[in-house]
Chains A and B, each alone.
Chain A
Amino acid sequence: GAVVSQHPSWVICKSGTSVKIECRSLDFQATTMFWYRQFPKQSLMLMATSNEGSKATYEQGVEKDKFLINHASLTLSTLTVTSAHPEDSSFYICSAEGGREKLHEQYFGPGTRLTVT
């Protein structure tokens, strides 16, 4: 149980275009999902907390107009990188809280590697 999927697993896009990444909890409902970014040989940095049916809460320094987050249902959150630039190239990982019985656990998706050319 507690499987989280992400789509796509990797994407290459041209500078100036937008990219949407999906995060789904497959076998549980996730009221809260989290979006992280990880640059090579660095740790995960929390970008934003996504709550179903409400606006996402962004961490300091993360541009909310550039990284659009939508959490329309209890099993799906999306991150759209708008007007992507090469410096946005990174490994984007989502996680979902583990439901009523495992509130303290976050289950991570497999990640999406974004390369902006």
Chain B
Amino acid sequence: GQNIDQPTEMTATEGAIVQINCTYQTSGFNGLFWYQQHAGEAPTFLSYNVLDGLEEKGRFSSFLSRSKGYSYLLLKELQMKDSASYLCAVTGGGNKLTFGTGTQLKVEL
């Protein structure tokens, strides 16, 4: 089976750094994705990790530890527009995505 855990909500200040954690227990693992989803919209791709380590892409970075079943998404220089839900998703066999429950991030002034 698949079990993916994320915090439900987080609040951070504009300009700050926030780390959103994701732990997973899955029967198969091909890679881990992070998506951003604004209310009423479809998810947009942020990052993909298949090997251990840190992937940096502008203000967003994603880390993966396969041995620990753990990932995090790091958002730097937070902006108000970063307020959204952040979804951790794991692919097992056949490229099927299993999503976590999502973390609702609120960025405040």
- A interface residues with partner B (beta carbon < 8 Å): 32, 34, 42-46, 49, 91, 93, 95, 97, 103-111, 113
Contact assessment for B30 and A104 in the assembled complex, using a CB-CB cutoff below 8 Å: yes
Contact assessment for B43 and A108 in the assembled complex, using a CB-CB cutoff below 8 Å: yes
Contact assessment for A103 and B87 in the assembled complex, using a CB-CB cutoff below 8 Å: no
Q: Complex: how many Å from CA A113 to CA B41? A: 10
Number of A-B residue pairs with CB-CB distance less than 8 Å in the complex they form? 50
The listed residue with most A CB atoms (<10 A of its CB), out of B31, B43, B102, is: B43
Can you list 30 A-B pairs, Cβ within 8 angstroms, ordered by A?
Answer: A32-B95, A34-B96, A34-B97, A42-B101, A43-B87, A45-B99, A46-B96, A46-B98, A46-B99, A49-B94, A49-B96, A91-B40, A93-B42, A97-B95, A104-B30, A104-B48, A104-B50, A104-B91, A104-B95, A105-B45, A106-B95, A107-B45, A108-B43, A108-B44, A109-B42, A110-B41, A111-B40, A111-B41, A111-B42, A113-B40
- B interface residues with partner A (beta carbon < 8 Å): 30-31, 33, 35, 40-45, 48, 50, 87, 91, 94-102
A56 nearest CB across to chain B (Å):
12
Known: A44-B97, A95-B97. 7 other contacts (CB 8 A): A43-B100, A44-B99, A49-B94, A49-B96, A104-B50, A108-B44, A109-B42
